[in-house]
Structure formats: structure tokens, C-alpha cells
């Protein structure tokens, strides 16, 4: 949001910095802002049309469209009048209407003359905004409009970008996470494979939630499900391809939700097997054990294994101990509403010391959220 102050010219450079940081930027400006800068400047920098009017826009409902679209809203410069409107929930023009319509976090960069900044009304409004969860950056001291000097100068664009990054940082920011998901397919011949019932939903939910919490996520998956836009997706098919992909990735936490085949046809046929040749004898050989290779790494990451069981939790507890993982997510796949292809799951979490937490039947996304809470706590975040 660009509102009517001389610092509006700095909002153009701010837009450029945001674009360079890989963000998509859309600008709305008030009528007063037009006195200082034109919409063409912002449209050229951002590659998006600029919204200047609540009623004369290509969007049917500009304030709600923009408000819903944004991951964060920056008001730069924020005039004293804008802060007052925002503090009182007024919505008579595009900037304040969008601010009222958004649920995204809001950052304001006030800019005004010292007298206005120090006025009790402005102070009151700012207190209200801070209570409402608005982040305030600046103002700084220096040259103001009309040759004046003092406090009230808009924060520099670099400072605003840094504050935005801080505001948006999640609890997992900076953590490198690798997730495996889906069931592997081991070729019998060019058309047939040995597979399993894993849908990849649990692993994808774990990757998506980690990205949402700020982690740098790589997802090695056998499914073509969509993933959170910040997730780096590597698609594979077989256990070998999954092992090769995992081996190349350095990470701090590895969550192995994939259902990896333990055995594969030793010598898959190059041509399709024919019915007329009779039932084939398929010799199997072991696949690489991905989890063990990760566990054997020098400086190994924090490892979360999965244990899909059909004969009760005891086998999972024994498996967790044998594999030495930091956490094991165990589930009884035959239980109604849990395990493969469902949107819900009932899991038990087995800690490295053998302690077990039984979690209720909840959505897979919630299982993922709970899991990341535990991991974040264990990693001191
Ligand atoms: N796993 C793996 N590589 C394999 C097989 C399994 O990395 N070749 C991982 C899975 O992603 C899971 C964990 O190991 O996180 C346990 O998988 P599971 O199949 O339950 O364990 P197994 O050791 O194969 O035990 P069992 O077949 O006896 O149940």
C-alpha cells in the first residue's frame, strides 16, 4: 500500500527489492499518493496492474481480492491519516479497505513530520495498531519534506525488507528438511510393478506443514500430488531412485514417511511378459535400506522413521529400538480411518528412549503439525 507522503518515491525501490527477493508484489495506492508518484512506475516494476480505486478496477472486489491474495501487507509510506484509519477500522478508500479485509500480517512504515509523529493522537493510534498485531518499522531521523529535519523519516527500504523477513519467519526458518513420501514401484516388466497401498498423503502433509512453518523442504515422492509452492519436489519411482535422490541431499531433519519396497525383482524383463508363457518365476532381491544409510551418515541428521504395522504397537517399538531413530511414527494400517489413502490417521509416537505417546484419530495435516511441534521442541526451536 502506498499512501500520500513524499516518501512514496522510496516505495518504488522497495517494490524492486521485494521482486529481487523473489516475492510477487501487487501495489494499491491512495489518491493522495498520486501527488508524489504515478501507478505506471509500480506497474513497470512489479509487472502487475496497480489498484488505485475501489470502484474502478479490473478486480470485482479489489480490497478483498488483494487482502486474500497477500501473504503480507506493507504500508509504505504510512501517513498519520492512514495510521488513524487503520486504528479505527475505517475503509473508505482502497488502502484502508484492503487493510480491513486482510488476515495477512501487516507491516507499516510511518512517515510524517515530527509534530505529527509526536502528537498524542498518533501515539494512541500506534498503540492500538501494535495491540492489533501490526508490525511498525521506523520512522528514522533525518531530512523531512519541505527541508525540515527530525524524526518522522520513513525507514529505508532495506530495513523494511529485513523487518518483513523477520515478521514472516516461522519457527522452522533456516531448518533444512528432507521428507520421503509415497509407495515405491519396483518393475517386473515395462508395464507391471510391485507396489503398495501408500498414497503419499501423510508424507506430503509433513512436507507442506514444514514449508508453511518456514523450513527449506525437499520432498522425494513417488506421487504426483501437488505440494506447497516453497517445497522442492523430486519425483522418483523405485526404491533405488529414492535412495539415489536422498543420498545427494544434505539436511538437518529427515522424515521418512515413504513406504519403500523391501524387495524388488532381481532381473526385470525388458519386454512385456506374455500370458502364453505361463506364470513367471520372479526372483526378488533386497532394495537399498535408505533409512539405515541416513542413520550411518557422519554427522547424521535428526531422523524420523515410520512404521506401518498390522500386528500392534509392540512391533513398532521393537523396530524403533533396532533402527535407533530419534522418533518413530507408528500406525496400525488396518484400523478404520487410519493409514493408507485416508485423510485421517491415528498414530503413536515412539521416542528414542522408548516412551510412547498415543495420538487421537485426526486429519493427516494435524498429525504433521503435532509432529513438527515435537521436532521443533527437541531441536530447541
Ligand atoms: N525404509 C527405507 N528403506 C527401505 C525400507 C524402509 O528407508 N528399503 C524406511 C521407511 O521409509 C520407514 C522405515 O524405513 O520410515 C520403516 O519401514 P518398514 O517397511 O516399516 O520397516 P522394515 O525395516 O522394512 O520392517 P518390516 O518389513 O519388518 O516391517
Number of domains in the chain: 2
Residue 263 and residue 152 share a domain: no
Helix %, strand %, coil % of the chain (to 5): 35, 20, 40
Of 135, 168, 201, at which residue does a domain stop? 168
Q: Which of 35, 48, 125, 196 is catalytic?
A: 196
Quick one: cell of 308? 506401518
Residue 147 and residue 16 share a domain: yes
CATH of the domain at 260: 3.40.50.10300
| Domain residue limits at 98 | 8-168
Of 168, 198, 229, at which residue does a domain stop? 168
**Which ligand 1 atom is the nearest neighbour of the CA of 292?**
7
Residue 231 and residue 145 share a domain: no
Residue 17 and residue 151 share a domain: yes
Residue 150 and residue 196 share a domain: no
pLDDT digits (tens, 9 = 90+) for 364-380: 999 999 999 999 999 88
Residue among 181, 244, 307, 325 to mutate when testing ligand 1 (max atoms within 8 A of CB): 307
Task: Give me the pLDDT at residue 151, please.
Answer: 92
Residues in the chain: 381
CB atoms near residue 30 (< 10 Å): 22
Ordered DSSP codes for 108-166: EEE---HHHHHSHHHHHHHHHHHHTT-EE---EEEE-GGG-EEEEEPPPHHHHHHHHHH
Query: Across residues 310-319, what is the average pLDDT?
Result: 92
Residue 200 and residue 319 share a domain: yes
Does residue 31 sit within a domain? yes
CA angle (72 as vertex; 68, 74 as ends), nearest 5: 115
Which whole-number Å values give the CA distances from 372 to 3, 279, 324, 343, in the listed order? 40, 47, 19, 18
Does residue 134 sit within a domain? yes
196 among known catalytic residues: yes
pLDDT digits (tens, 9 = 90+) for 72-115: 999 999 999 999 999 999 998 888 999 999 999 999 999 999 99
Does residue 202 sit within a domain? yes
Residue 20 and residue 155 share a domain: yes
Residue 250 — pLDDT band, cuts 50, 70, 90?
very high
pTM: 0.74
Quick one: cell of 271? 519386454
Whether 304 is in the pocket of ligand 1, judged by its Cβ within 6 Å, is no
Of 149, 168, 187, at which residue does a domain stop? 168
Asked whether the predicted pLDDT for residue 58 surpasses 80, the reply is no
Does residue 1 sit within a domain? no
Residue found by looking up cell 501487516 in the block:
106
Residue 301 and residue 202 share a domain: yes
Q: Which residues have a Cβ under 8 Å from the Cβ of 380 and sit 6 or more positions away?
A: none
Does residue 195 sit within a domain? yes
Residue 255 and residue 143 share a domain: no
Q: Please say whether the beta carbons of 330 and 350 come within 8 A.
A: yes
CATH of the domain at 151: 3.40.50.1950
Does residue 188 sit within a domain? yes
Whether 287 is in the pocket of ligand 1, judged by its Cβ within 6 Å, is yes
Q: Which value, in Å, is the radius of gyration of the alpha carbons in the chain?
A: 27
Residue 250 and residue 331 share a domain: yes
Buried b (16+ CB within 10 A) or exposed e, 151-167: bbbbbbbeebbebbeee
Task: Give me the pLDDT at residue 334, please.
Answer: 84
Query: What's the CA-to-centroid distance between 308 and ligand 1, angstroms?
Result: 8
Quick one: cell of 297? 551418515
Residue among 219, 241, 256, 260 to mutate when testing ligand 1 (max atoms within 8 A of CB): 260
Does residue 3 sit within a domain? no
CA distance 247 to 237: 15
Query: What's the CA-to-centroid distance between 47 and ligand 1, angstroms?
Result: 48
**Which ligand 1 atom is the nearest neighbour of the CA of 323?**
23
Does residue 2 sit within a domain? no
Residue 350 and residue 304 share a domain: yes
Quick one: cell of 275? 500370458
Residue 164 and residue 180 share a domain: no
Run of H or E residues at 202: helix 201-212
Residue 252 — pLDDT band, cuts 50, 70, 90?
very high
Task: Give me the pLDDT at residue 68, please.
Answer: 93
Q: In what order do the strands lie in the sheet with 135-136?
A: 73-78, 106-110, 135-136
Residue 381 — pLDDT band, cuts 50, 70, 90?
confident
Whether 246 is in the pocket of ligand 1, judged by its Cβ within 6 Å, is no
Whether 243 is in the pocket of ligand 1, judged by its Cβ within 6 Å, is no
Asked whether the predicted pLDDT for residue 336 surpasses 90, the reply is no
Amino acid at each position: 500500500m502506498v499512501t500520500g507522503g513524499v516518501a512514496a518515491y522510496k516505495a518504488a525501490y522497495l517494490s524492486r527489492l521485494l521482486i529481487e527477493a523473489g516475492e510477487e508484489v501487487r501495489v494499491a495506492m491512495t489518491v493522495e499518493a498520486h501527488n508524489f508518484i504515478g501507478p505506471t512506475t509500480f506497474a513497470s516494476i512489479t509487472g502487475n496492474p496497480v489498484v488505485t480505486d475501489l470502484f474502478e478496477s479490473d478486480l470485482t472486489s479489489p480490497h478483498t481480492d488483494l487482502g486474500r491474495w497477500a501473504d503480507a501487507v506493507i504500508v509504505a509510506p504510512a501517513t498519520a491519516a492512514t495510521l488513524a484509519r487503520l486504528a479505527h477500522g475505517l475503509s473508505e478508500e482502497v488502502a484502508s479497505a484492503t487493510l480491513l479485509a486482510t488476515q495477512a500480517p501487516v507491516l507499516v512504515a510511518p512517515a510524517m513530520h515530527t509534530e505529527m509523529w509526536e502528537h498524542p493522537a498518533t501515539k494512541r493510534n500506534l498503540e492500538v495498531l501494535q495491540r492489533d498485531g501490526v508490525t511498525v518499522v521506523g520512522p528514522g531521523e533525518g531530512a523531512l519534506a519541505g527541508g525540515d529535519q527530525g524524526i518522522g523519516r520513513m525507514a529505508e527500504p532495506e530495513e523494511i525488507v529485513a523487518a518483513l523477513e523477520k515478521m514472516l519467519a516461522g519457527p522452522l526458518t533456516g531448518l533444512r528438511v528432507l521428507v520421503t513420501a509415497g509407495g515405491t514401484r519396483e518393475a517386473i516388466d515395462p508395464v507391471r510393478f510391485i507396489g503398495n497401498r501408500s498414497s503419499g498423503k501423510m508424507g506430503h502433509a509433513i512436507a507442506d506443514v514444514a514449508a508453511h512453518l518456514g523450513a527449506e523442504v525437499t520432498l522425494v515422492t513417488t506421487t504426483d500430488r501437488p505440494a506447497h509452492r516453497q517445497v522442492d519436489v523430486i519425483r522418483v519411482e523405485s526404491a533405488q531412485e529414492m535412495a539415489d535422490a536422498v543420498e545427494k541431499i544434505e539436511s538437518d531433519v529427515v522424515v521418512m514417511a515413504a513406504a519403500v519396497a523391501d524387495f524388488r525383482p532381481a532381473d526385470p524383463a525388458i519386454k512385456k511378459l506374455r500370458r502364453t508363457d505361463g506364470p513367471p518365476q520372479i526372483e526378488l532381491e533386497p532394495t537399498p535400506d535408505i533409512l539405515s544409510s541416513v542413520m550411518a551418515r557422519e554427522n547424521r541428521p535428526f531422523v524420523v522413521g515410520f512404521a506401518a504395522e498390522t500386528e500392534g504397537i509392540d512391533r513398532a517399538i521393537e523396530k524403533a529400538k533396532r533402527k535407533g531413530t530419534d522418533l518413530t511414527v507408528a500406525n496400525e494400517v488396518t484400523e478404520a480411518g487410519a493409514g493408507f489413502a485416508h485423510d485421517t490417521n491415528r498414530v503413536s509416537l515412539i521416542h528414542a528412549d522408548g516412551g510412547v505417546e498415543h495420538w487421537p484419530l485426526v486429519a493427516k495435516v494435524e498429525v504433521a503439525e503435532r509432529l513438527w511441534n515435537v521436532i521443533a521442541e527437541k531441536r530447541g526451536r
